[in-house]
Amino acid sequence: MDEADGFSKDKRWNLQGMTAIVTGGTKGIGYAIVEELAGLGARVHTCSRTITELNDCLLEWKAKGFRVTGSVCDVSNQAQREKLLNAVSSEFNGKLNILVNNVGISMGKPVSDYTAEDISKLTSINFESAYNISVLAHPLLKASPSTSIVFISSVAGILPVSFAPIYGANKGNITLDVLYLYKF
C-alpha cells in the first residue's frame, strides 16, 4: 500500500494526546525516537546530562513545531531520577503513556581490564536506571490509558561480544527485566 491509497504514515499513526518520556533523547537513537514521537503528535519530555546539549535540541524541536520539554538528569543518580519523574508528573498532570528507556553507555575493553568503578558505572546507567525509572513511572503509566514501556537493548544482550562484556551483561539483564516488569 502506498500513500496514493490513503495509507500515509500520518493516517496510520497518530499520537495526538499522548505523552512520552525518552531518557537520553539528545543524541543517537534517543534523538531519533524523540523526533518520531513528537512528529506523530505526542508531547515528549527528555533528559540529558548536559544543559547545553539539551537546550540546543529543545530549540531545534521548537523550530520544527514539536512539543518537547526536557530536564538535566544523570540517570545514574537516584535523586536525579526521582527529580526527573517528578518533573514528568508535573508536566503531564500525573499521567504518562510511553516510557522509552534509552540511555546506555559502553566501555570497549577486555573483561579483565574493568575496574569495580567501571562495572558500577555501567550497571547504574545501563540497567539500574532503566529498572528504577520504570518503577518510578509505574503510577503515571497506571493512571493512563494505552501505555507502553520500551527498553532500548542490544544484540549484545543476547549474544556475547568480546569488546563490551559488561555492557552485554547489562543489556541481557534488561531483556530479562522486560519479562519481570510485564507482570508488574
What is the distance of C-alpha 161 from the center of its chain? 23
Query: Which residues are marked as active site?
Result: 167
C-alpha to C-alpha distance for 30 and 104, rounded to whole angstroms: 10
- The amino acid at 118: D
Q: Cell 519481570 maps to which residue?
A: 180
Helix (H, G, I), strand (E, B) or coil at 77: coil
Angle at 128 between CA 161 and CA 15, to 5 degrees: 95
